[in-house]
Each structure stands twice: as C-alpha cells, then as structure tokens.
C-alpha cells in the first residue's frame, strides 16, 4: 500500500533528505524535487537521523563519480536497514543510464528513477502528483549555489557526441528553457535575496538555437541584467566547437556579466581532438579566448582537459602542454580518462596506461599551479568585489568574479562581513588557489553595501 502523506503513528509529515552527487545540474534537480515534495506535504531535512526517506541523486559522469554514487547508495541502504520503516530511492544520471543494472544489484532500494521522473517519484513516495501545480513549475530551473547565489539552468541535454562523454545518453538532446520562464524565475530569486545568477546547462553558448533558431544567450543575459537586485551573471559550460570567436568578441555590452567563462578545451592536439570528436582546433579555441579577453587583464577563462584518452601519444600530450602554457588559463581542471559505456571512446581500445596518464595530469597541474600563483600575485594591492559565502572563526570566505561556486579558488577576508552580499576587498596575499584580503571600506562593508554593477564588454553574436 502506498505511504500516506502523513505518518499516522507520529502525525507529522514524512521527512525526506536528498543526497546530491555530481555537478550543479544535479543540484538543480535536487532542489526541484525538494520543492515538489514540500508542495506535496513532505518536510525537507538535512540530516539522516531526522529522515524517513533518503533520495540519492546519482552522478555517472566518470568512473570515480559512479563509484561514489554506488557507495552512497550502499550507505543509504545500511541506514535503511538500521530502522524499520525507512526507505531509499535513487535518481539522477547514473540511474538514468544504468537503472536496470542498479535495480538488479541493489534490490534493497525502494525505487530507481531516471532524470525528471517526478510524477513516478512522487507516486512512489505516496504523494499526489496532481499537487504539482503551475506555481511549482516556476521552481524547476534553479538551485542554490550558496548565500546570495543561485544556479539558473537555461538548458538541459546535449546534441553533441564527444567520444568520451555519456551525458547525451543520460540527459537527452539539447533543449533550451524559454526566456520568459527564466526571467520570471530570476525575478523570484532576486526577491529572495539572490545577487548572483550562474547560468548552467550542458553547454550554454548554444542557448536558444533549438527554440528560437539562433543563439540567444546575449538577449537572455540582457533581460536578466534588467532585474533589480541581480548584480552578477556568470556563465559556465561553454562549448568551444560551437563558440565562434565573433560570439565572444566585445561588440555587445552586457551589464553585470562577470568577466568569467568556463571553456572546456579537453585537448589541443589535432589528432586527439579528432578522436574525441571535438570539431575545433587549438587555433580556433585560442582565437575565441583572445576575443573574450579582448586585451583586458581582469578576465578569467577556465578550462578542463582530459589526459590518457586512447591513442594519446607523448607528442600529443606535449602539444596540449604547450597550449596550456601558451594560453595561460586563469583556472584549469585536469582529468584522466575512464571509458564510458556506449560512447565512441569505448571502441577506440584501451586508455593510456594509468601511471602515464597520472604523470601527465601531474605535469599539467604543476604548470597550472605556477600560472595561478603568478596571476594571483599580480592581484596583490588591487581591489576586487567578493561575494561572501560563510564565516570561519574570525574571517569571512567568499568568491571573486574569477570563481564559480564549488569549482574555483576562494577569498579569505579579515572580519565578519555580511554573507550573501558583495563587498569590495583589497587583496593583501596570494596563494595558487586562494587570495587573502581586507575590506576596502570597513564602514561600507559593515553596512553590507554591495559593489553595484559593472559593465564589461563580453558577448556578441
């Protein structure tokens, strides 16, 4: 029999905890589920000890993420077995792709669901799917990214076919969310105190091509920038092969747009880009990055690269190394390849030997560390706007305009500044992945005044 909305024995709403693994897109899904459950009379809790139900939102992006997801599901099953009446459900990218396998391997789970199976999940929890009304729909695009900050998911899915990536299988074809819905959502967020919007999607630079037959990211940013209260707009997950240099040039001025872009190069050697099915070249990527930087010093280009893909020879790696050295990305992440079932990469044979791949990763990370440190040292004595996220002992910690939530560096500021607010901070010290500073104006900072907007030449068609 389906569980009633309220536990008869305790006369209180059932309590649900969601454990989220993986990226910001998964966080948005978790927030969506939490919103739907709250609308259906459930209580959302943050501790296992308080929960009646745990939902594990899995990630299947790379092997390490899969292993972690399985471990978390096993821990949740142990939690369930410790007390009668508890239940565990699983959702997300991994269950979307490997649902049958997971059901067979973990029969203790009370339900295994794919991405966006909200009605089925609510039904399994005994909630009434009809209680999902129109006002709930408006919460489907965003998730918290920290105090004063929210992710706004402008698209989902991906229609590309990079040879190392299973995301299109897990999240389906590319689809943009309508501009009006996103603007409505952003207005609601601004009213709740959100100052920063991080625009996310599997790839954001193609926003609009499916709905409006043209790229509409600039128009979307302009509409979002008009919203009172929104001060920063960040963009992550650009797709270099579909990001022409002109698109990133300085012809359009979008107020409030951060001088930051996440531009995952993946590789630079022509042979590897071809094997990876990335329809671009090192020269084209460099052109796009130069257009984005446009001679400015205060711009951050983040990249991710993959080493150890099948067929990567020393000479290919050296080309990647030289590319990283030449471009001097302000931020970079390096991953070793692991084969993903159902992708073209799986058919290309064995990956590069693990020890070799790890050496390559290590060399790139050492190079990147030097670049980050030298870039950070140049910031000493300058003043930066910093969005404060939390307090630890007598210091405030936050992010500069060069840092995306949960990914990049952080800034430690002396004193207790108001969280969720943007403060002007004078940089006094630098490490590779951290800056230290003091509030430029203690009086202003203590009142929690924000830095206001700043216009930057960034995107155009």
Q: Say how far apart CA 288 and CA 263 lie, in whole Å.
A: 10
Helix pair angle (179-191, 217-225), 10° resolution? 30
Contact flag: residue 62 with ligand SF4 (CB under 6 A): no
Task: Identify the DSSP state of 418.
Answer: P
* Binding-site member from 24, 88, 165, 282 for ligand SF4 (CB under 6 A): 165
Residue in 35, 33, 25, 26 with CA at minimum distance from that of residue 135: 35
**Closest listed residue to residue 456, CA positions, set 302, 231, 246:** 231
Rounded to a whole number of angstroms, the minimum distance from the CB of residue 264 to ligand SF4 is 7
Q: What is the torsional sign of CA 98, 76, 13, 47?
A: negative
Is residue 97 near ligand SF4 by the rule CB under 6 A?
Answer: no
Q: What is the DSSP string of 154-202?
A: -EE------TT--HHHHH-S-EEPPHHHHHHHHHHHHHTT--EEEEESS
Binding mask 183-212 for ligand SF4 (x = CB under 6 A): -------------------xx---------
CB of 340 to ligand SF4, least distance (A): 10
Q: Does 302 bind ligand SF4 (CB under 6 A)?
A: no
Tally Cβ neighbours within 10 Å of residue 37. Answer: 25
In the complex, what is the shortest distance from the CB of residue 82 to ligand SF4, in angstroms, rounded to a whole number?
A: 38
* Among the residue ranges 5-13, 148-156, 164-172, 412-420, the one whose residues contact ligand SF4 (CB under 6 A): 164-172
Judged by CB under 6 A, does residue 288 bind ligand SF4? no
According to DSSP, the residues that pair with 306 across neighbouring strands are 335
Three-point CA angle 91, 165, 361, nearest 5°: 110
Span near ligand SF4 by CB under 6 A; candidates 68-76, 96-104, 165-173, 289-297: 165-173
Q: Which residue number, 305 or 456, has a Cβ lying nearer to ligand SF4? A: 305
Piece of the chain touching ligand SF4 by CB under 6 A; list 6-14, 159-167, 221-229, 382-390: 159-167
C-beta separation of 62 from 304 below 8 A: no
Residue closer to ligand SF4, measured from CB, 158 or 230: 158
Residue 287: closest CA among 251, 245, 240, 321: 245
Rounded to 5°, angle at Cα 199 from 396 and 411: 20
160 binds ligand SF4 (CB under 6 A): yes
Interaction of residue 162 with ligand SF4, rule CB under 6 A: yes
Q: Which C-beta is closer to ligand SF4: that of 158 or that of 371?
A: 158
13 phi, psi to nearest 5 deg:
-65, 150
Residue 161 or 455: which CB sits closer to ligand SF4? 161
262 binds ligand SF4 per the rule CB under 6 A: no
Residues 215-254 contacting ligand SF4, CB under 6 A:
239
- Cβ-proximal residues to 329 (8 Å cutoff; 6+ apart), any chain: 301, 302, 303, 368, 371
Q: Which stretch binds ligand SF4 (CB under 6 A): 155-163, 293-301, 395-403, 427-435?
A: 155-163
Considering beta carbons, is residue 73 or 158 the nearer one to ligand SF4? 158
Per CB under 6 A, 103 contacts ligand SF4: no
Least distance (Å) between residue 174 CB and ligand SF4: 8
The site string for ligand SF4 over 36-55 (x = CB under 6 A, - otherwise) reads: --------------------
Q: Does 403 bind ligand SF4 (CB under 6 A)?
A: no
| Residue 337: φ, ψ to 5° | -75, 140
State the nearest-atom distance from the C-beta of 378 to ligand SF4, in Å: 32
Rounded to an integer, what distance in angstroms lies between the CA atom of residue 287 and that of residue 279?
Answer: 15
Q: Cα separation of 298 and 260, whole Å? A: 9
User: Which residues contact ligand SF4 by CB under 6 A?
Assistant: 158, 160-162, 165, 167-168, 202-203, 239
């Amino acid at each position: 029999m389906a569980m009633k909305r309220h536990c008869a024995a305790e006369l209180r709403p059932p309590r649900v905890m969601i454990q989220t693994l993986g990226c910001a897109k998964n966080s948005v899904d978790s927030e969506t589920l939490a919103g739907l459950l709250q609308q259906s009379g459930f209580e959302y809790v943050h501790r296992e000890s308080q929960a009646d139900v745990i939902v594990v939102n899995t990630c299947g992006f790379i092997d390490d993420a899969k292993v972690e997801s399985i471990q978390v599901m096993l821990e949740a099953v142990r939690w369930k077995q410790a007390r009668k009446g508890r239940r565990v459900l699983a959702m997300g990218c991994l269950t979307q792709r490997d649902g049958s396998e997971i059901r067979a391997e973990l029969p203790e789970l009370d339900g295994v669901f794919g991405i966006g199976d909200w009605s089925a999940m609510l039904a399994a929890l005994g909630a009434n799917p009809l209680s999902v009304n129109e006002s709930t729909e408006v919460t489907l695009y965003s998730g918290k990214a920290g105090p004063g900050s929210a992710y706004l998911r402008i698209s989902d899915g991906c229609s590309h076919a990079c040879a190392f990536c299973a995301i299109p299988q897990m999240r389906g074809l590319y689809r943009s969310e309508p501009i009006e819905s996103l603007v409505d959502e952003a207005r609601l967020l601004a009213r709740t105190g959100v100052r920063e919007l991080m625009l996310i999607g599997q790839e954001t630079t193609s926003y609009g091509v499916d709905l409006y037959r043209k790229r509409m990211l600039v128009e979307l940013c302009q509409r979002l920038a008009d919203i009172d209260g929104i001060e920063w707009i960040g963009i992550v997950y650009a797709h270099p092969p579909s990001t022409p240099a002109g698109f990133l040039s300085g012809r359009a001025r979008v107020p409030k747009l951060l001088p930051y872009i996440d531009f995952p190069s993946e590789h630079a050697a022509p042979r590897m880009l071809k094997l990876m099915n990335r329809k671009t070249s090192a020269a084209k990527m460099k052109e796009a990055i130069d257009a984005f930087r446009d001679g400015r010093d205060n711009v951050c280009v983040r990249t991710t690269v993959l080493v150890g893909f099948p067929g990567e020879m020393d000479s290919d790696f050296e080309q990647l190394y030289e590319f990283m050295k030449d471009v001097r990305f302000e931020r970079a992440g390096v991953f070793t390849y692991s084969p993903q079932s159902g992708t073209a990469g799986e058919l290309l044979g064995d990956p590069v030997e693990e020890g070799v791949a790890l050496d390559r990763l290590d060399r790139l990370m050492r190079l990147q560390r030097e670049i980050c440190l030298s870039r950070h040292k140049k910031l000493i004595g300058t003043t930066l706007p910093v969005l404060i996220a939390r307090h630890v002992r007598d210091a405030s910690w936050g992010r500069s305009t060069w840092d995306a939530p949960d990914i990049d560096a952080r800034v430690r500021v002396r004193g207790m500044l108001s969280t969720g607010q943007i403060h002007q901070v004078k940089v006094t010290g630098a490490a590779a992945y951290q800056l230290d500073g003091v509030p430029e104006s203690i009086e202003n900072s203590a009142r929690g005044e924000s830095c206001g907007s700043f216009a930057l030449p960034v995107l155009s068609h």
